[in-house]
Chain A
Amino acid sequence: MKSLKFNKYIIALILLFAAPASAVADIALSLTLNRHECAITDSIKMVVSISGARDADTPQIRGLENFIAQNAGRSSQVRIINGRVNSSVDFTYYIQPKRIGIFEIGPASVKIDGKTYQSEAAKLTIKTSIYPKSGADAPIFLTASLSAKKVYLEEQLQYTIRLYHLNQVSNVSLNTPEAEGLEFRQLEKPSEYSTVYNSKNYQVIEIRYAVVPLKTGRLNINPARMSMLVRRDQRHLDDDDIFSMDDFFSNVRGKPVTLASNPLILNVLPVPHAGKPADYAGLIGTYQITSELTPGRVKAGESATFTVTVKGSGNVNRIPDMKMPEIKNAKIYADEPTLDIRQSEKGIEGLKTMKWAIVPEKQGQYTIPPLSVSYFDTVNKYYRTIRSKPFLLSAGPGIGVITQSPFVKEKVQPGKEEIEELGRDILPIHRSAMDLTKEQAGHIGWNLWIIMIIPALIYCVLLAVHKISRTSSVKLKSYKAAKNFYKICKDKDLSANALSKALLKYINKRFSINLGSLSPQEASGILNGKGCKEETVNQMEWILKKIETLIYTGKGEDPCDLPLEASLIIKSIEKEIK
């Protein structure tokens, strides 16, 4: 547990030091509004977010001349997303419009480490009132609105649902609006704000959808239905309700209510025939095209990458896969196009990237022709054709070998095909007669089984030899110890001290121990443990006690009469312990 805490501190420290380093890596500035259409009496939340930085000066924001701006503070965050440390600083403002109209707020700009970073601008429409004409004094009501009443087929528009409530609401659920021939896709999370309507301060929940009409004609959008629990206003409780105390004792925290919005009608027109380009493939909205060639100069046989990007909002799924015309003396390998779709305040936006590897076969200049895509511009109501820039690719003297494009490595190369099976037959006979054997498959001869046993047998023999050799070495040791003892005991003038030493030496050698002295109790313990008879053990104890007595009475150096008896005891021990 302690180490876990310690690890947390280490991680926090790493984050603290690592964050500024990573922060410098990719700084981005964004300006977001919580609403894009509001009444002149409303206040709008504006957040300028600087991602990739832990600290920054207050950003400069253009286009606020027509608003009263109030600073609501700053906050900084450090987050780990997919193992990467992301830090950001948010500056929050509340702005209140001074007049009606369509305004562009931003871009916001900030200087970090001497470099100026800029956000995109945001559009805000201020109206006298955006609120419904009906439902006026109701404490809670639901409205639905469309960003346009007349659109072209597949043109994207926005459908907004707003819930106005004076009392608190909870457990809000909305049935996705349904209409034949319309495709709905929710944009971002629902936003919440407050507004003044009919001199009352309403709380508003706003949910926005991108809508794409899939058929022409007059399309009906049925009312959206929203269910919720509405808290009762304590001031309006009846006397009877005082004792109900449903907030405290009951799970039901309010009154269930289902609201319906107003129905809507949308007129969908087909795209005009007049001025339709030949290559028009149904793309509608607003789009831009960009292109690049990297590198602009290569050696013959090397590849350059030509990238075309089409970006915009509308029916982005319809952005066509462009075709690169053939270039003389150059090989072209197309990569799989990628389409990145995301939701923004403008609706559904998309970015399609198409890449080609161009490999010049010879030295020279190669012109990359412009590629075009046509779409119906919903802002200006006419067809437009956008084109990529033409490029000039210079090829120097090269390696003479046509290299593969980096993105075609794993794919089937042009000109290569899967092997086609033209016929089937068995493979030919074998010619080797070498392996002919009398043995049946799965048969193991007895000789092989014997070979299998041999190592185990050899081991058993070795084990036996090992054991025998160990036993004989022990026997030899004991024989030598006894022999030495007998030799010492032959001395007729042997003192008690010398006899005591001889006995100690014998016991140590005989039993491979290392005693410094030998008491009668120790000796009897050892002999008992080795399996000596009780009589022999007693004799040994008796002789040792006698030796001790002689030594302690000052007769230790005098010749004693015990060697013979000691020899007999040792003989008994040798007999009894094999």
Chain B
Amino acid sequence: MKKIFLIILITFTFPFAVFTQGKNNRSDRREELFHKANAFYKEGNYEKALNTYLDILESGYASGDLYYNMGNTCFRLKMTGHAILYYERARLYIPRDADLDYNLRYVRKLAKDDIELPVDIISGIFFWNMHITHKELFLLFAAVNLLFWTALALRLYLKKEWTYYIFIILLVIFIIIGVSFAWKHYVTLSDERAVILPEKADVLSGPDAAETLLFQLHAGAIVCINDAEDAWKLISLPDGKRGWTKADSLEKIRQK
């Protein structure tokens, strides 16, 4: 009887154990790569460090710390555009990180075009959205959602005055957080910001190299992509300037 039990146990637990082991191995490998890249960075071997960080990214994994370290590495390699791009990406994961905030401000000052897209009125109202990640806000909304429905359910069986007030308070919080999350979700999904990567990028009046040169942008400038045509992107600046630039001279901050 004991033997049968043992066989059944092994039969059911073995695949899970193998799966978990495999997963742990892969996770260890990524961590190993991350630390290896950090070691390269410390040695001053920035190119190798960047390549190793990119290996992790290619494996489909990312984190705020990874993008932050890539930003640092690109800064050391004098790739201002890439540094700003990675710092901005890191901000999507770790918006309250003080080191990131400091480094991004510092690198932006070094950029020739210090362009920052203005904050719109609604984002100004939901000011906390800038300091909280999309996922964190979602989890907060989920928690409020749970509390709200719990209070509603409680009202089915306990129609007391205090349950009424709790319900009203939770309803208000639910609406505020709900609208805040909806706005954040919309802003995140429609984020068309991009960073100019080469030292100099020409902005033309049309999607053709023969078109009139309107102005030039430099590495690190943040623009907004409005349209795309072949290998060209229509970009706009906060001051109303618009024009077409080559698609390979910029990269979107938020990847699809």
Contacts and interface: CB of A to CB of B under 8 A. Distances in A.
Interface of A: 424-433, 435-444, 448, 451-452, 455-456, 458-459, 462-463, 466
Nearest to A440: B255
Interface stretch (B13-21, B146-154, B219-227): B146-154
B153 A458 contact: yes
B62 A427 contact: no
The 4 closest A-B pairs by CB, nearest first: A441-B92, A455-B149, A433-B34, A442-B188
B228 to A, nearest CB: 20
Contacts of A437: 61-63
Tell me which of A433, A435, A462, A466 has the highest count of chain B C-beta atoms within 10 A of its own C-beta. A433
Contact of A436 (B62, B102, B142): B62
Interface string B87-103: 00100110000010011
Nearest to B109: A424
A183 to B, nearest CB: 49
B65 A430 contact: yes
Tell me which of B75, B92, B156 has the highest count of chain A C-beta atoms within 10 A of its own C-beta. B156
A462 B153 contact: yes
Contacts of B256: 440
Contacts of B68: 429-430
B205 interface: no
Contacts of B34: 433, 436
Given A427-B102, A441-B62, A458-B149, 8 more contacts: A424-B106, A429-B68, A431-B35, A435-B93, A436-B66, A442-B134, A442-B188, A448-B142
B108 to A, nearest CB: 12
Given A436-B30, A442-B134, A455-B150, A463 B156 contact: yes
Contact of A459 (B75, B153, B189): B153
Nearest to A462: B153
B254 interface: yes
B234 interface: no
A297 B134 CA distance: 65
A429 B40 CA distance: 11
8 contacts: A426-B107, A428-B72, A433-B65, A433-B66, A436-B63, A439-B135, A441-B254, A452-B145
B133 interface: yes
A438 B145 CA distance: 26
A462 B188 contact: no
A438 B255 CA distance: 13
Tell me which of A425, A441, A444 has the highest count of chain B C-beta atoms within 10 A of its own C-beta. A441
B189 A442 contact: yes
Contacts of B73: 429
A435 B65 contact: yes
Contacts of A452: 141-142, 145
A419 to B, nearest CB: 15
A39 B138 CA distance: 91
A436 B92 CA distance: 14
Nearest to A461: B153
B60 interface: yes
Interface string B168-185: 000000000000000001
Given A433-B31, A455-B145, A444 B99 contact: no
Contacts of A448: 138, 142
Interface string B71-94: 011010000000000000100110
B106 A441 contact: no
A470 to B, nearest CB: 10
Nearest to B142: A452
Given A455-B145, A455-B149, A459-B153, A430 B69 contact: yes
A269 B209 CA distance: 82
A428 B31 CA distance: 18
B249 interface: no
Interface in B20-38: 27, 30-31, 34-35, 38
Tell me which of A430, A438, A452 has the highest count of chain B C-beta atoms within 10 A of its own C-beta. A430
Contacts of B188: 441-442
B89 A456 contact: no
A452 B142 CA distance: 6
B217 interface: no
B167 interface: no
A435 to B, nearest CB: 4
Contacts of B150: 455
A437 to B, nearest CB: 6
Contact of B89 (A433, A441, A443): A441
B41 interface: yes
A154 B188 CA distance: 71
Contacts of A425: 106
A469 to B, nearest CB: 10
A98 B226 CA distance: 97
Interface in B99-152: 99, 102-103, 106-107, 133-135, 138, 141-142, 145-146, 148-150, 152
B191 interface: yes
